[in-house]
Structure 1
Amino acid sequence: MERDELNIPRALELRHLRYFVAVAEELHFGRAARRLNLAQPPLSQQIRQLEDLVGCALLVRTSRSVQLTPAGAAFLDRARRTLRNVQDDVQEARSIARGARGVLRIGFAGSAILTVLPGLLGRYRAQEPNVELNLRESFTAQVVDGLLSGALDAGIVRDMEPVPGLHAHVIASEPFVVVLPADHPEAGRASVPVTVLRDRPFVYYPRSAGARAYEKPLSVCEAAGFRPVASQEASQWLTILRLVGAGLGVSLAPACVAGVAPANVVCLPLQGVSLESELQVVRRADDRRPLVRSFEALALEG
């Protein structure tokens, strides 16, 4: 079989990948053929040709079912990624032809807007004036999902755990602070121990925001011998601050939230705690597009 220097069969074409993805998702040749507006015999022939080119079975066919082999399951993920990247490249080329230089879809954890993100976006806009920025605020976990699915190109996340297929780099860090209502007995102190949160109602964001982002602040409490249980949950820090101010509980937060705290809330430094919250720039490991890499490089400059 003739292969190029990257060991990729030269006869392998994008249509093979499209056909395979359709069959793998439908697990039925008839439905896949209808989806592709193709007759079933040619589709079956193309899948057999693909398996010959790859050099192994990707599907197990019986008279009643179609199933992916382990190799087929792995190949499906890569086929989707290849098709997505080609689509992105075509869209970028069309944007360049229109006088633009592409669209950069950036997801970010909401609290990032209180730190380095506005400055980063301003510098990127000045450096790449023809790139269209598409910004999407969400949780860290949702940004990760968007990157893995191809819905996002880059992200600014908080305290993300390592994820296969993604590259993340720390771009800023900040301490955690205790969030108390202004009438709390300890509110007038310059700093407080984390134990002031013990046995108090706790206001916090949901675990679905990201497992590591959720657990990291709580580890400060656990080191002091207790673990808060959230009595109230909210998805935005402004909401959490308002609930604390209304007397519904206390919280732990990255220091940046102090900048938006209302008058009836105080954010106090923690005594004897060195653990910090980290902001990270993240992208897909296989994404080599210049507009993504330039955003990452700018973020790393600080």
Structure 2
Amino acid sequence: MDQDIELRHLRYFVAVAEELHFGRAAERLHLSQPPLSQQIRNLEESLGYPLFKRTSRSVALTTAGDAFLLRARRTLRNLQRDIDDTRSIGRGEVGALNVGFVGSGMLAMLPSIFKTYREAYPKVHLRLHESFTSRVVEGLENGSLDVGILRDSDATEGLQIKTILTEPYVAVLPRNHRCAAQKSISPAMLRDEPFVHYPRSAGARAFDKPLKIFEEYGFQPRIAQEASHWLTILRLIGAGFGISVAPACVRQIASPEVVCLPLRGVKETSQIELAWLVGESRPIVEAFAQIAAGQTG
């Protein structure tokens, strides 16, 4: 655009072109007519061609004016769209949000969080990445993830972590186990049982917490089999590979071959956490965090 032409010239021109009357255009723009006429003349001088045919009785667009009207409208429309888009980005209403999450979160409140967020911000491309706590933390640190949903994470420098769900642990036993008919079970009764557990590489604290339950009962569980996903762990338990201790949410995927029993006298709980980088200030991240924090349990 020529340096002598400003956006106000385009707005003034479009008003006159649509009204084909300087007086009505001036009223529409909340201007007096002489300054408006002068601005249109300035625009024509900058372009080097007349935009209007003026007589004492009428105003009409020239061929150049007709062509310029299409372009002026397009410029103003594009500018308004860019302004609206920028404001939407500023409010966190558009863009892409990469969320890493632990699979067990999908057995708890995560589906509700994702649904609420998508309904509130339908123009945001929500990219979901299922993984383990340790890998979600890595993604936050290297910038490939914007927000993380963790399970019993370790304190990590540079991350802000907020608990959004606390749930008890349950014992998971084969249906044919000698204690399967009980309403609850003491950890002491699991002393000699082989355990099916997820690997430490998934998250050190998440690995250790349920096992520490048994320390006050004088033993450390013997891990006979490792598996990375709760569905696999439950099916292995049902197949007789051992028992396990799991967050209570796994009841939702428990097959008929297993039972989930409350642990008597156990105060230890498992936490699902929301994590983001310290100093994070992008509205798109803050909006997701606000919705997730609003559904704490």
Output the CA distance in 2 between the equivalents of 1:120 and 1:198. 39
Q: Of residues 162, 169, 179 in structure 2, which corresponds to 1:169?
A: 162
Q: Of residues 106, 127, 130 in structure 2, which corresponds to 1:134?
A: 127
1:150 matched to 2:139: no
Q: Of residues 225, 236, 243 in structure 2, which corresponds to 1:232?
A: 225
> Counterparts in 2 of 1:210-229, with a 5 A limit?
210-229=203-222
Contact 2:164 2:292 in 1 (8 A): yes
Contact 1:201 1:231 in 2 (8 A): yes
**Amino-acid identity (%):** 49
**TM-score if structure 1 supplies the norm length?**
0.67
Equivalent position amino acid for 2:254 in 1: A
Q: Which runs of 4+ in 1 moved over 2 A?
A: none
Output the CA distance in 2 between the equivalents of 1:297 and 1:149. 23
Contact 1:157 1:280 in 2 (8 A): yes
2:113 aligns with 120
Contact 2:193 2:222 in 1 (8 A): no
Between Structure 1 and Structure 2, whose CA radius of gyration is higher? Answer: 2
Tell me by how many angstroms 1:286 deviates. Answer: 2.2
Contact 2:169 2:248 in 1 (8 A): yes
Equivalent position amino acid for 2:152 in 1: D
| CA deviations over 1:220-268 (Å, ceiling 9, x no partner) | 0112111112111100000000000000100000000011011010000
Q: Of residues 241, 250, 257 in structure 1, which corresponds to 2:250?
A: 257
Contact 2:108 2:249 in 1 (8 A): yes
Output the aligned Cα RMSD. Answer: 1.6
Tell me by how many angstroms 1:199 deviates. Answer: 1.4
1:65 aligns with none
Output the CA distance in 1 between the equivalents of 2:222 and 2:204. 15
Equivalent position amino acid for 1:152 in 2: L
Equivalent position amino acid for 1:262 in 2: S
SS at match of 2:140: helix
Contact 1:197 1:251 in 2 (8 A): no
Contact 1:186 1:192 in 2 (8 A): yes
Output the CA distance in 2 between the equivalents of 1:147 and 1:223. 35
Output the CA distance in 2 between the equivalents of 1:165 and 1:300. 19
1:190 aligns with 183
Tell me by how many angstroms 1:196 deviates. Answer: 2.5
Tell me by how many angstroms 1:197 deviates. Answer: 1.9
2:292 aligns with 299
Output the CA distance in 1 between the equivalents of 2:145 and 2:251. 29
> Could you list the runs of 5+ residues in structure 2 that have no partner in the other structure?
1-84
Output the CA distance in 2 between the equivalents of 1:244 and 1:158. 22
Equivalent position amino acid for 1:213 in 2: A
SS at match of 2:221: coil
> Could you list the runs of 5+ residues in structure 1 that have no partner in the other structure?
1-91
Output the CA distance in 2 between the equivalents of 1:260 and 1:175. 16
